[in-house]
Structure 1
């Protein structure tokens, strides 16, 4: 999931935004390559979002479904799920490659990507855009909220049952490490849901507005309020992948330990060389 989140700024920021700002006449602006990069942008976003959903489901099974836990929460299942998400994300976003046409042709070479006018009027493209928006981010909104709500409810009920079993000993309740771990899990799950919904909300609202107004995506008039809102939503959407990595990975103790080992390993190797 961290790799998928890292791919998003690579395609969105480096190969698209930085390229547009500083290398506007590079080979990346050939229409076929430009179209491919934009398709990869949407592919990377879908991978990031749906791996977040699958990770949330994995936590739900691990906490709430003890009978299914031993069968589902395995390395083999994780590999299958991750592979399926990547393949389906690629297949789902192939049509984005075909929505662009050259903005201009210089010496028989097509330059830049311009959205075809039929993209906003063709029933097929409109249906595809609705389908794409339903899959990302509407369905993830619902699934993450539902799964985290059920998980939090299960944790609260388990804490109440545990407190009754331990009795009314206030000191024992205060030093209960299992209850403290569950409390941290609730905070983590709430942060996950709130982060994802907040950072994707503007993008979703802009899409809904497009269906009932004359506004369009990829507008370049930065004096227009809708353009400012849509670009802000785009920025926050990219930011969500960074915060996902932090919440899911950096907040985990085992990940922090492995990260420390990776950072310390070169210094340990140098120290061993001097000892020799």
Structure 2
């Protein structure tokens, strides 16, 4: 619904912002398809489907990591765009354009897939039946090879450590700029007691930016903690299902929070917009409106 509503361009947003939000919503929808439906639901309830073969699950893994990275870094790109639009007026006319938005979106999408191609070579078959390799088991070299160790650290630094640092830093700078502008505005208005809609909008912006940073931190902190736990204890990652093992439960909990994070920001950005809410109500009521019209006719 978010993709449909935003694509209509009736939310009062510029085309630049609309491009970012539509692509973020579409990418998050791909996260749901690849990571939740194919990988989680399919892996548990359809154990011996095509996706359970070694080629199927390796391709699935690459797609999951690629869509995850795309979701995170598109959020970073949108945060940078909003920071420039609010705090850097001299760059706004050159950077906050449709062409720049499309180039950034295309570059992030391409790099998300290129970066995660090496994961295709980290898995081996768990076992082979009649020449068909089944399931994915992480190669021992992934934990012992210096090259793979560097790649693993780089993967976790690029997602989510660096994105969180950038989102937090840019939102803090944006909030400071908004507060400074609000103080200056109040000083210029003096003792005028009339409602200041500009300051009200700025307060809503501060709440929105704070919510984004806090949400990203809380939903990704367990993922970072699990990565450090694996590196310190040397227990490794689970590739099978063991719902009674506390380590497996901890691993799946981090995956759940990570998936929630990938599907969270589009709601924070879009649902907070009044016109988006109006369009959402109109879309939800559309079938009933058509049905009512048919009965009247």
The interval holding the TM-score normalised by the smaller chain is: over 0.9
> What is residue 63 of structure 1 aligned with on the other side?
86
Matched, 1:150 2:170: no
1:243 shift after superposition: 1.9
Matched, 1:227 2:248: yes
Separation of aligned partners in 2, 1:221 and 1:121: 24
> What is residue 215 of structure 1 aligned with on the other side?
235
> What is residue 206 of structure 2 aligned with on the other side?
186
> What is residue 75 of structure 2 aligned with on the other side?
52
Matched, 1:115 2:143: no
Matched, 1:256 2:256: no
CA 1:261 to 1:78, structure 2 compared with 1: closer, same or farther past 3 Å?
farther
Q: Root-mean-square deviation (CA), in Å?
A: 1.8
> What is residue 26 of structure 1 aligned with on the other side?
49
Query: Residue 238 of structure 2 aligns to a residue in which SS?
Result: coil
Query: Residue 237 of structure 2 aligns to a residue in which SS?
Result: coil
> What is residue 202 of structure 1 aligned with on the other side?
222
Which one scores higher on RCO, CA 8 angstroms, separation ≥ 6? 2
Give the unaligned 5+ runs of structure 2: 1-23
> What is residue 247 of structure 1 aligned with on the other side?
268
> What is residue 72 of structure 1 aligned with on the other side?
95
1:40 shift after superposition: 0.6
Q: TM-score of the superposition, structure 2-length normalised? A: 0.86
Query: Residue 140 of structure 1 aligns to a residue in which SS?
Result: helix
CA 1:257 to 1:75, structure 2 compared with 1: closer, same or farther past 3 Å?
farther
Matched, 1:92 2:112: no
Separation of aligned partners in 1, 2:275 and 2:100: 21
Give the unaligned 5+ runs of structure 1: none
Query: Residue 133 of structure 2 aligns to a residue in which SS?
Result: strand
Separation of aligned partners in 1, 2:288 and 2:88: 43
Q: TM-score of the superposition, structure 1-length normalised? A: 0.93
Range 243-252 or range 55-64, more displaced: 243-252
Query: Residue 203 of structure 1 aligns to a residue in which SS?
Result: helix
Query: Residue 101 of structure 1 aligns to a residue in which SS?
Result: strand
Query: What CA deviation, in whole Å up to 9, does each residue of 1:221-263 have, x standing for no partner?
Result: 4444433322211111111122212101211233334434444
Aligned partners of 1:206 and 1:229 also within 8 Å? yes
Separation of aligned partners in 2, 1:82 and 1:271: 42
1:270 shift after superposition: 5.7
